[in-house]
């Protein structure tokens, strides 16, 4: 029995590893399309010392950052199996529950990392698809003017298909990406066989020698080498879907070797044919294979783009659930896969942004100058947050924790400083995008905090409410009333508003609050907490607990409440929701420049009715004016 169980476990891990190849490694898997070309595009001599030096830098960048930092260390730090910047931030926050300054620091850098992720997410689809389609310039130079129209068409189709969901298409991702990585490795081996001496580049001597020889110019090289490791964060971000071991198996057993073989194959090609530097990836292939390779590369780049788009949906959803972002319309595109969501607003914003980027930069070489700085910024945030977790929560020995921090921060800051040279030529773009999103999220958080404080100052306890009811001759009507409340304690403003104006009470009154925990999932057994108030026990305080990866469903939760003893008949239940209108006092604590932004975000957030799946036919909205 034990052997059978182990066999099933191995089969499951193998299936998950195969699936991970189709989703997790798309971004880093398409880097060979442009990385080597851009490194030598900085007018680096193409001879044996320089080729070996570049290959050594690529090898050790992949080894240190992806294989050791992410696959070995950072992936161990997960929030109940979930990875990614938001999950890591909520995990690190557990170490700062009684320390407001530390909480502020963790949230600030976590949101900064998430904002930079979006900046990177706009460039990845553009550079991936563009670099793939640029193969036309090598295969058929006369068709070069079709590169931009084809790129825009492919990207347009990709964004339009998002609303359909990736379930059906996603089944094809793994076979295509497996074929892609086999092709990468095969092309590499074929060219390495002509110049096997390139394998000596695994010796770090060549990397160090190149950096020392070039002096300050080595920063230009490192800024291009980072292109080989873009997508490393995906190993961590997608861990919740596939698990730690399957991703490690796929990386070390298949993806990592295939990438190295291809990079070394491109190096071997350059030693034999230095003029191949114009596009060393496509020139790896024999002439007859170029059109199939172009088609396969385009498919791989689309899959890489899909992974980034899905990642943007996932991060946005987590940010909304954690209260760092306004509510948006979230559609589930699969009845079976919880993580497959579609957010129309994000999809169309990404599409427009990607089109603007493609049409502005017009080539992958120009785009490479904007790519990398956001990636390295997110990597630095990951390193700092992981250090907080291993030091504060796991209580590693101080020397071990500091060694981890200094080693990987040194590597990260080396890449960041080298990429800072790109700021004037395009690196400003992801930084501006990241800064705008960071300001939006921090404005939203500050505004919500002021709103909560405003509500808290005016809250009334249930005990005081009973005295108020006794002094008013209220009419009791049949049925139940459910009042949605933001605050965890006291009577919500929408109830007081209704009572003071209409002097009506229902037979059964429920005040319902939805709470998002700092963990990915809350099981059904711990979903609901109910407390009763009032002399007749007809007031109920209901709290619904969800993880940041889950979507609240009020109807479903109330059905569960009915199973636990509450008398709920949806035909006799009314849902009261406050429709707040904001204004600001002259001496408001919110800075003047943030006020219009928060008002815009607040009034354009999607309806709580749709977001929380409240039965729309039973909803009564009451207008409430709030002055902050």
Judge if 359 and 485 occupy the same domain: no
Question: Would you place residue 559 in the very low, low, confident or very high pLDDT band (cuts 50, 70, 90)?
Answer: confident
Judge if 568 and 623 occupy the same domain: yes
Strand partners, 415: none
Tell me, what CATH number does 55's domain have?
A: 1.20.1740.10
User: Which residue is it, tokens 């954690």?
Assistant: 322
Strand partners, 582: 626
Question: Would residue 454 count as lying in a domain?
Answer: no
Structure letter (DSSP) for residue 551: -
DSSP codes of every residue in 474-529: PEEEEEEEEEE-SSSSSB-HHHHHHHHHH-EEEEEEEEEEEEE-SSS---GGGSEE
Q: In what order do the strands lie in the sheet with 539-546?
A: 528-533, 539-546, 504-516, 475-484, 573-583, 619-627
Q: State pLDDT tens for residues 354-375.
A: 999 999 888 888 888 888 888 8
Question: Which range is most confident: 19-33, 198-212, 560-574?
Answer: 198-212
CA dist., res. 182 & res. 257, Å (int)? 10
Judge if 387 and 319 occupy the same domain: yes
Q: State pLDDT tens for residues 58-77.
A: 999 999 999 999 988 888 88
CA-closest candidate to residue 259, choices 30, 576, 524: 30
- pLDDT at position 8, please? 61
- pLDDT at position 143, please? 82
In the chain, % of residues over pLDDT 70: 94
Which contiguous run of DSSP H or E holds residue 63? none
What does each C-alpha distance from 333 to 338, 404, 613 come to in angstroms?
9, 40, 16
How many CB atoms are located within 10 Å of the residue 116 CB? 27
Q: Which residues touch 367 (CB under 8 Å, ≥6 apart)?
A: 123, 126, 127, 130, 357, 361, 426
Question: Would residue 354 count as lying in a domain?
Answer: yes
Q: State pLDDT tens for residues 305-350.
A: 888 888 888 888 888 888 899 988 888 765 444 556 788 899 999 9
CA dist., res. 502 & res. 62, Å (int)? 67
In the chain, % of residues over pLDDT 90: 25
Judge if 39 and 174 occupy the same domain: yes
- pLDDT at position 262, please? 96
Cα dihedral 273, 278, 280, 286, rounded to 10, equals -70
- pLDDT at position 172, please? 77
Q: Give 477's Cβ-side CA count (13 Å radius).
A: 12
Question: Would residue 2 count as lying in a domain?
Answer: no
**pLDDT exceeds 50 at position 1:** no
Judge if 348 and 492 occupy the same domain: no
Structure letter (DSSP) for residue 505: E
Judge if 441 and 480 occupy the same domain: no
CA dist., res. 260 & res. 20, Å (int)? 19
Judge if 395 and 498 occupy the same domain: no
Question: Would residue 254 count as lying in a domain?
Answer: yes
Strand partners, 623: 579
Please give the average per-residue pLDDT across 114-143, as a whole number.
Answer: 87
Please give the average per-residue pLDDT across 533-548, as a whole number.
Answer: 82
Judge if 328 and 193 occupy the same domain: yes
Question: Would residue 30 count as lying in a domain?
Answer: yes
Calculate the average pLDDT of the chain.
85
- pLDDT at position 165, please? 66
- pLDDT at position 183, please? 95
Please give the average per-residue pLDDT across 426-430, as a whole number.
Answer: 86
Expressed as residue numbers, the domain containing 545 is 461-627
Judge if 465 and 359 occupy the same domain: no
Judge if 496 and 394 occupy the same domain: no
Q: State pLDDT tens for residues 210-235.
A: 989 888 888 888 888 998 998 888 77
Say which residue, 178 or 520, is predicted with more confidence. Answer: 178
What are the tokens at 231? 């997508």
Say which residue, 187 or 615, is predicted with more confidence. Answer: 187
Question: Would residue 9 count as lying in a domain?
Answer: no
Q: Which residues touch 626 (CB under 8 Å, ≥6 apart)?
A: 451, 454, 580, 581, 582, 583
Judge if 442 and 469 occupy the same domain: no
Question: Would residue 455 count as lying in a domain?
Answer: no
**Three-state SS sequence of 412-481:** HHHHHHHHHCCHHHCCHHHHHHHHHHHHHHHHHHHHHHHHHHHHHHCCECHHHHHHHHHCCCCEEEEEEE
Contact 95, 388 (CB under 8 A): yes
CA-closest candidate to residue 351, choices 125, 545, 547: 125
Judge if 441 and 488 occupy the same domain: no
- pLDDT at position 9, please? 67
Question: Into how many domains does the chain fold?
Answer: 2
Pairing of strands 331-332, 528-533: unpaired
CA dist., res. 550 & res. 611, Å (int)? 12
Question: Would residue 1 count as lying in a domain?
Answer: no
């Amino acid at each position: 029995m034990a052997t059978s169980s182990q066999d099933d476990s191995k089969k499951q891990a193998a299936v998950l590893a195969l699936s991970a190849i189709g989703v997790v490694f798309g971004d880093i898997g398409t880097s060979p399309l442009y990385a080597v070309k851009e490194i030598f595009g900085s007018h680096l001599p193409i001879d044996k010392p320089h080729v070996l030096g570049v290959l050594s830098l690529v090898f050790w960048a992949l080894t240190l950052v992806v294989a050791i930092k992410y696959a070995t260390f950072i992936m161990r730090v997960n929030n109940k199996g979930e990875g990614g910047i938001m999950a890591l931030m909520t995990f690190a926050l557990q170490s700062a529950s009684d320390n407001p300054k530390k909480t502020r620091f963790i949230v600030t850098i976590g949101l900064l990392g998430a904002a930079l992720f979006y900046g990177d997410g706009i460039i990845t689809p553009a550079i991936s698809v563009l670099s793939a389609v640029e193969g036309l310039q090598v295969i058929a130079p006369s068709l070069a003017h079709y590169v931009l129209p084809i790129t825009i068409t492919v990207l347009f189709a990709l964004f339009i298909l998002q609303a359909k969901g990736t379930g059906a298409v996603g089944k094809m991702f793994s076979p295509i990406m497996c074929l892609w990585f086999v092709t990468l490795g095969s092309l590499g081996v074929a060219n390495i066989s002509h110049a096997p001496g390139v394998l000596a580049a695994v010796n770090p001597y060549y990397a160090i020698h190149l950096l020392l020889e070039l002096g300050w110019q080595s920063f230009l090289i490192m800024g291009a080498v980072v292109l080989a490791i873009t997508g490393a964060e995906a190993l961590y971000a997608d861990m919740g879907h596939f698990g730690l071991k399957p991703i490690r198996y796929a990386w070390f057993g298949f993806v990592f070797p295939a990438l190295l073989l291809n990079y070394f194959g491109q190096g071997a090609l350059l030693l034999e044919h230095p003029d191949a530097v114009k596009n060393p990836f496509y020139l790896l292939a024999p002439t007859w294979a170029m059109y199939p390779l172009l088609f396969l590369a385009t498919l791989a780049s689309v899959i890489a783009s899909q992974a980034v788009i899905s990642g943007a949906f996932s991060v946005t959803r987590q940010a909304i659930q954690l209260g760092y972002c306004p509510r948006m319309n979230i559609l589930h595109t699969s009845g079976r896969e919880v993580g497959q969501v579609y957010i129309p607003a994000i999809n169309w914003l990404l599409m427009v942004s990607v089109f603007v980027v493609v049409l502005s930069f017009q080539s992958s070489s120009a785009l490479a100058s904007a790519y990398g700085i956001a990636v390295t910024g997110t990597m630095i945030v990951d390193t700092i947050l992981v250090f907080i977790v291993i030091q504060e929560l796991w209580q590693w020995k101080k020397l071990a924790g500091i060694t981890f921090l200094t080693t990987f921060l040194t590597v990260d800051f080396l890449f960041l400083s080298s990429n800072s040279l790109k700021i004037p030529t395009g690196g400003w773009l992801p930084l501006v995008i990241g800064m705008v999103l960071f300001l939006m999220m921090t404005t939203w958080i500050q505004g919500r905090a002021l709103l909560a404080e405003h509500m808290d100052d005016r809250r009334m306890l249930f005990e005081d409410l009973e005295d108020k009811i006794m002094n008013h001759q209220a009419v009791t009507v049949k049925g139940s009333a459910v009042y949605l409340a933001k605050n965890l304690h006291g009577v919500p403003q929408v109830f007081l508003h209704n009572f003071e104006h209409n002097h009506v009470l229902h037979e059964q009154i429920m005040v319902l609050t939805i709470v998002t925990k700092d963990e990915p999932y809350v099981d059904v057994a711990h979903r609901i907490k109910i407390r009763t108030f009032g002399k007749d026990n007809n007031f109920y305080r209901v709290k619904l607990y969800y993880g940041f990866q889950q979507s609240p469903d009020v109807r479903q939760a109330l059905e569960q409440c009915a199973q636990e003893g509450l008398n709920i008949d949806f035909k006799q239940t009314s849902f009261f929701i406050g429709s707040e209108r904001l204004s600001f006092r002259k001496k408001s604590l919110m800075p003047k420049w943030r006020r219009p932004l928060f008002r815009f975000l607040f009034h354009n957030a999607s309806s709580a009715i749709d977001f929380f799946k409240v039965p729309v036919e039973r909803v009564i909205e009451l207008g409430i004016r709030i002055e902050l």
